[in-house]
Amino acid sequence: MLALEAAGVRFGDTWALAPTDLIVERGRTLALIGPSGSGKSTLLRLLVGLVSPTTGAVTFNGEPLPRSSDAAGRRRLAALRRRSGFVVQGGGLFPHLTAFDNAALMARQERWTAARIQTRINELADLLHLSHAELGRHPRQLSGGQRQRVALMRALVLDPEVLLLDEPLGALDPLIRVELQDELAALFHTLARTVVVVTHDLAEAAHLGDQLVLLANGKIEQTGALIDLVERPASTFVERFVGAWRVPSELSSKRGRAI
């Protein structure tokens, strides 16, 4: 449903993402992984038009993404973005709005009735384990994990066709991180949506994604399940990257799941 067709992004002389082909299939969960500066965030932002491709094209359900250089293109792009839920790094909650108002923001813009909004928020609050009291708070009164849940609610409120998450668990402390990883995996399963998630953590990628896309220096090094990366690394980089994460107990459990 999302595809890159030889799409590349160049800033000045440097390719943040070399021309790349990639297909995100409907209903699959894709994990983009790689060291920082590898181009994984650029790839994710390319998918919703937050950056425009220097070469090639990005398609959403077969339609090329409109450009943001003119007003008409911006309007069509905004409409498309409402059909995809994007969570920026750190959640990007608006500090002047309560958790509820953050989550309800786009529904209000779509002129939903108050009752419909309330129903939808209740539904999502159950799904993401947020209480009524927590929804009344401002972001700075919430914990990191709670903020991330609110950001997910906000992205999900319009029931998007695709969910795009940039380092959703990046800033959390390890215990909460593990807890939320399980929750996210369950959530993706429940939603049965197309998901693209960016992470620098191999274990997390394996935990959340059906398919892993390993990037380095703006190029895709290898695509496949964790087991493919571990057993049939396409390059010495993949071997080294995977090797650095090979913790026996972790790997055995993840390997089982990935297969």
Partner 1 sequence: MARALGVEFQAREGDLNTLFCIAFALLLTVVAGCQDTTRELRVGSKKFTESVVLGELLSEVARATSEPVEHVAELGGTRILFEALRAGQIDAYVEYTGTLRAEILVNEDVEGRPRLAAALRARGVVLGPALGFDNTYALGMDRQRAQDLDIRRISDLRAHPGLEYGFGDEFLGRADGWPGLAKHYGIATTKVRGLDHDLAYRGVVGGALDVLDLYATDAQIELHDLIVLEDDREFFPSYQAVIVWRADLEQKFPAIVLAWRELAGTIDAAAMRAMNRSAAIDRESAYNVARRFVRDELGREVSAAAPTRGRARTLLATTLDHLALVLPSLFAAIALAVPLGIAAARRPKLGQVVLAVTGILQTIPSLALLVMLVPLLGIGPQPAIAALFLYSLLPIVRNTQTGLAGLPRGLLESADALGLSRSQRLRLIELPLAMPAILAGIKTAAVINVGTATLGALVGAGGYGQPILTGIRLADTGRILEGAVPAALLALAVQGAFELAERRAHKSGLADGW
Least Å distance, CB 2 to partner 1, is: 15
Contacts of 149 (CB under 8 A, 6+ apart): 128, 129, 130
Rg (CA), the chain: 18
Size of the site for partner 1 (CB under 8 A): 28
Least Å distance, CB 78 to partner 1, is: 5
Q: Is 74 in the site for partner 1 (CB under 8 A)?
A: yes
SS3 at position 251: helix
DSSP 64: E
Among 15, 60, 86, 241, binds partner 1 (CB under 8 A): 86
CB 1 within 8 A of CB 24: yes
Judged by CB under 8 A, the chain residues 41 through 60 that form the site for partner 1 are 48, 50
Tokens linked to 7: 């799409």
Among 34, 39, 139, 224, binds partner 1 (CB under 8 A): 139
Stretch that binds partner 1, among 89-97, 189-197, 219-227, 232-240 (CB under 8 A): 89-97
Among 12, 69, 71, 174, binds partner 1 (CB under 8 A): 71
- Indicate the residue among 199 and 222 with the shorter CB distance to partner 1: 199
CA distances from 135 to 100, 102, 156, 172, 213 (A): 5, 9, 15, 20, 35
Going residue by residue from 157 to 196, which x/- string records binding to partner 1, judged by CB under 8 A? Answer: ----------------------------------------
Among 7, 17, 88, 99, binds partner 1 (CB under 8 A): 88
CB 58 within 8 A of CB 47: yes
Tell me the C-alpha distance between 83 and 118, whole Å.
Answer: 20
CB 127 within 8 A of CB 187: yes
Site residues for partner 1 per CB under 8 A: 48, 50, 71, 74-75, 78-82, 86, 88-90, 92-97, 105-106, 109, 138-140, 154-155
